[in-house]
Amino acid sequence: AADADAWRSRRIYQLLTDRFGRSVTTSACDISARAYCTGSWLGIVDHLDYVRDMGFDAIWISPIVSNIESTTAYGQAFHGYWANDINQLNQHFGSADDLNRLVKEVHDRKMYIMVDVVVNHFVANSTNTSTTVDFSSITTFPSANFFHAEHFIQSTDYTQNQTAVEQGWLGDDKVALADLDTENPDVVNTMNAWIGNITKTYSIDGVRIDTVKHVRKDFWPAFAKASGVYTIGEVLDNRVDYVADYTKVIDGVLDYPTYFAATQAFGSTTGNLSVLVDTVTQSQNSYQHGLFYSGSFIENHDQPRFPNSTNNTALIRNAIAWSFTNDALPILYYGQEQGFSGGNDPWNREPLWPTGYPLGEERPLVTHIRSLNQARKIAGIFSNSSFYSTASTFIPQSSSGLIALSKPPMLSVFTNIGSNFTGKVPPKWTIPSSAKLFKGKKQVVDVLTCAYFKTDGSGGLIAYADNGFPRVFLPAEALDVAENTDLC
Ligand code: ABC
Ligand code: CA
- In the 3-class helix/strand/coil scheme, how is the chain assigned residue by residue? CCCHHHHCCCCEEECCHHHHCCCCCCCCCCHHHCCCCCCCHHHHHHCHHHHHHCCCCEEEECCCEEECCCCECCECCCCCCCEEEEEEECCCCCCHHHHHHHHHHHHHCCCEEEEEECCCEECCCCCCCCCCCCHHHCCCCCCHHHECCCCECCCCHHHHCHHHHHHCEEECCCCEEEEECCCCHHHHHHHHHHHHHHHHHCCCCEEEECCHHHCCHHHHHHHHHHHCCEEEECCCCCCHHHHHHHHHCCCEEECHHHHHHHHHHHCCCCCCHHHHHHHHHHHHHHCEEEECCCEECCCCCCCCCHHHCCCCHHHHHHHHHHHHHCCCEEEEECCHHHCCCCCCCCCCCCCCHHHCCCCCCCCHHHHHHHHHHHHHHHHHHHCCCHHHHCCCEECCCCCCCEEEEEECCEEEEEECCCCCCCCCCCCEEEECHHHCCCCCCCEEEECCCCEEEECCCCCCEEEECCCCCCEEEEEHHHHHHCCCCCCC
Q: 236 in ligand 1 pocket by Cβ < 6 Å? A: yes
Per-residue pLDDT reduced to its tens digit, 365-422? 999 999 999 999 999 999 999 999 999 999 999 989 999 999 999 999 999 999 988 8
Residues in a beta bridge with 66: 85
Residue 81 near ligand 1, beta carbon < 6 Å:
yes
Q: Which ligand is nearest to the CA of 159?
A: 1
Among all bound ligands, the one having the nearest atom to the CA of 157 is 1
By most ligand atoms within 8 Å of CB, the mutation choice from 236, 333, 348 for ligand 1 is 236
ipTM higher than the 0.90 cut: yes
Q: How far is the CA of 170 from the centre of ligand 2 (A)?
A: 8
Selected catalytic residue, list 116, 166, 205, 210:
210
> Does residue 332's CB lie within 6 angstroms of at least one atom of ligand 1?
no
pLDDT on residue 132: 80
The answer to whether residue 210 is catalytic is yes
216 C-alpha to ligand 1 centroid (Å): 18
Q: Give me the residues paired with residue 13 across strands.
A: 59, 332
Ligand 2 centroid to 85 CA: how many Å?
18
Q: Please tell me if the CB atom of residue 210 comes closer than 6 angstroms to any atom of ligand 1.
A: yes
Q: By the 8 A CB rule, do 348 and 449 touch?
A: no
Is 237 touching ligand 1 by the criterion CB < 6 Å? yes
Burial level of 483, CB count in 10 A (0-12/13-18/19+)? exposed
Ligand 1 pocket, mutate which of 345, 347, 349 (most atoms under 8 A from CB)? 345
Query: One-letter amino acid identity for 281?
Result: T
pLDDT digits (tens, 9 = 90+) for 79-135: 999 999 999 999 999 999 999 999 999 999 999 999 999 999 999 987 666 568 999
- The answer to whether residue 483 is catalytic is no
Cα 144 to averaged position of ligand 2 atoms, centre (Å): 14
What is the rounded CA–CA span in Å between residue 163 and residue 167?
6
Q: In angstroms, rounded to a whole number, what is the distance separating the alpha carbons of residues 140 and 146?
A: 10
Structure confidence at residue 125 (pLDDT) = 87
Which atom of ligand 1 lies at the shortest distance from residue 239's CA?
61
Pairs from 388-393 (Cβ < 8 Å, separation ≥ 24): 388/8, 388/9, 388/292, 389/8, 389/292, 391/284, 391/290, 391/291, 391/327, 392/280, 392/284, 392/325, 392/326, 392/327
CA 10 to chain centroid, in Å, comes to 12
Region of 289 (left: φ > 0; alpha: ψ -120 to 50; beta: rest) is: alpha
| Per-residue pLDDT at 483 | 67
Pick the closest to residue 296 from 263, 336, 326 (CA basis).
326
CB 461 within 8 A of CB 438: yes
pLDDT score at 231: 98
What is the predicted pLDDT for the residue at 128? 63
How far, in Å, CA of 199 to CA of 13, rounded? 19
Ligand 1 in reach of 22 Cβ (< 6 A)? no
Q: How far is CA 77 from CA 64, 68, 269, 284, in A?
A: 11, 7, 38, 36
Low-confidence ranges of the chain (pLDDT < 70): 127-131, 482-484
Pick from 218, 213, 274, 284: nearest CA to 249: 218
- pTM higher than the cut 0.90: yes
Q: Whose CA is nearest to atom 38 of ligand 1?
A: 302
Residue 208 and residue 195: Cα distance in Å, rounded?
12
Q: Determine the straight-line distance between the first and last CA of the chain, rounded to whole angstroms.
A: 35
Ligand in closest contact with the CA of 172: 1
CA gap 339, 365 in Å, rounded? 7
Q: Is 19 in the pocket of ligand 1 (CB under 6 A)?
A: no
Q: Quick one: which of 246, 23, 235, 1 has its CA closest to 113?
A: 1
Q: Which residue, by CA, sits nearest to atom 15 of ligand 1?
A: 171
Ligand 2 mean position to 167 CA, how many Å? 5
347 - beta bridge partners? none
